[in-house]
Chains A and B, each alone.
Chain A
Amino acid sequence: MGLLVKDKQVVVPGDVLADDLGFIPGFGTYRNNHNLVCSRLGLVNLEGKVVKIIPLSGKYLPRRNDIVVGRVFDILMAGWRVDINSPYSAVLSSKETPEFIERNEDLSRHFDLDDHLVCKVTNVTSQNLVDVSCRDQGLRKLRGGRILPVNTHKVPRIIGKKGSMVSMIKQATGCRIIVGQNGLVWIDGEPDKENIAVNAIRKIEEESHMPGLTDRMKTYLEEITGVKISLNEGDYNGLQ
């Protein structure tokens, strides 16, 4: 019999994906005797003999080197506790800030409670203790703007190939946008332009599974803003 599902098909836990040993279980699948069974709701992805699941829902689990948008919710002896929209909170050490902090200095002068910041996950332990850092180009406190929560699993779609999608929105609206891997998007610009950006991101979230997304978004944004967008995906290097 072999493979029982099509590529990109929606599968639910317990669905038998293949019923012989010719396929290798990948992420979100397990083997039960001869059967390859789905263990997570998502879309089937075939890569040669490997069958894996692209999840459609679920919480963000922190991974090393992810750029995330977080909120300070506690101040510790030598750092801050940051809510990163995940089951696990992260610790930002006072040594990992852009400026040098003296001993016994008041930490709330740098990051106060409810401040938002962009940071990078530097370490995740087996017990999911998370360290983040603000010591890299562009990592900083976020002032002004708004935070838009999105589905974590759609973040790669919102960014697009080499940042093409997000740079399109930025070109059209003139907003500054940061997309955190944890599903928080920071948008700062003219209020009505911010709204356009929010709507565009919601549209991407809803339509991300349909083909021709980039072209559709381009027409959509050009129609609303009247700005001519040039697709230039090459100029994005992750950190600017």
Chain B
Amino acid sequence: MDYNKRLDGRDFDELRPMEAKAGVIKKADGSAYFKMGNTVAYAAVYGPREMFPKFQQDPKKGVLRCNYNMMPFSGAGERVRPGPSRRSKEISAVTEKALSAVVDLTDSPNAVVDVYIELPQTDAGSRCCGINAAAIALADAGIIMKDIVAAVAIGHAGNKIVVDLNYEEEHLPHYLPGLDNEDVADIPVAIVPSTGEISLLQMDGIVHKEVLFKALHKAKAAAIQVNEVQRNALREKFSSSANDDDNGNGNNYSNDSNDDTDNNENNDDGFQN
């Protein structure tokens, strides 16, 4: 059976409405909020900081450590049992790998960057949403990284390729009895937008090779849309105060000749009595 119209009325290429914000958690070194449809993720980044337990330190480069956590009340149905589960540990590990494709921690040997991803509300695509939030939070924390990773889930339902599935679509045979379980596949993909590299690729279900290639092609286009939202969230945080300036000088860091414009050269000692 064919899947001709999406359950929530979106186009097959259309993402759920997205919303992002950087710097939402005051005490974290970097933080972000990312919302895709009804899935909400908060990410907090701490560090680089000293690595404990010490035997996990790497003297060559810093370590990225991710933690994915679905809150007990986050799902649509049953309460999610709190604490680490087999599923959340796996997702933490793949998130870590998806993000370490871009971050460069060679400047902080023996240190760790901790990323905590919390999901207060989920409706499919939570690992993608978590990666999107974490990527913004890492940039917000001033971590050196070559790009901001964007993730999106691509699905295959009936004979259609579907972008950014929601919960109903992940369980489509339940809602459209004509479909078989074999007709439905869910493929979360994380992409490094500037190079097109794929840093996360998982799949639930069965698809043909050609379908997978088509799906990845669509994933790239969708990831670029996600990435634009991520970038705007960061730009907004750091230029908002500059735009309040009634001098109309926008993002000017400083034109004041009285000030030391050479910010990066710390040739001033901060020392007075």
Give A13 to B194 CA distance when docked, in angstroms. 10
Among the stretches B8-16, B47-55, B208-216, the one at the interface with A is: B47-55
Q: Is the interface of B mostly helix, strand, loop or mixed?
A: loop
Contact with A along B240-251 (1 / 0, CB 8 A): 011001010101
Give A82 to B270 CA distance when docked, in angstroms. 18
Q: Which residues of A contact B104 (CB under 8 A)?
A: 39
A160 engages B47 (CB within 8 Å): no
Q: Which residues of B contact A179 (CB under 8 A)?
A: 270-272
| With contact pairs A127-B110, A160-B259, A178-B270 given, residues A12 and B142 touching in the complex (Cβ less than 8 Å) | no
B195 at the interface (CB under 8 A from A): yes
A54 engages B263 (CB within 8 Å): yes
B272 engages A240 (CB within 8 Å): yes
Among the stretches A58-66, A102-110, A189-197, the one at the interface with B is: A58-66
- CB proximity to A under 8 Å, residues B11-52: 29-30, 47-50
A97 at the interface (CB under 8 A from B): no
A87 to chain B: closest CB distance in Å? 4
A239 engages B269 (CB within 8 Å): yes
B264 at the interface (CB under 8 A from A): yes
B141 at the interface (CB under 8 A from A): yes
Contact with B along A147-168 (1 / 0, CB 8 A): 0000001011111111110110
The residue that A41 contacts in the complex, of B110, B142, B247, with Cβ under 8 A, is B142
Give A67 to B59 CA distance when docked, in angstroms. 26
Name which residue of chain B comes closest to A236, CB basis: B272
B135 to chain A: closest CB distance in Å? 9
Cβ contacts A to B, 5 pairs, < 8 Å: A159-B269, A178-B273, A179-B271, A209-B253, A212-B256
Interface residues of B (CB under 8 A from A): 29-30, 47-50, 59, 102, 104, 107-111, 139-148, 193-195, 227, 231, 234-235, 238-239, 241-242, 245, 247, 249, 251-256, 258-260, 262-264, 266, 268-273
- Contacts A15-B231, A54-B263, A157-B263 known; list 7 others, CB within 8 Å: A8-B252, A40-B145, A58-B141, A66-B269, A127-B109, A210-B245, A213-B259
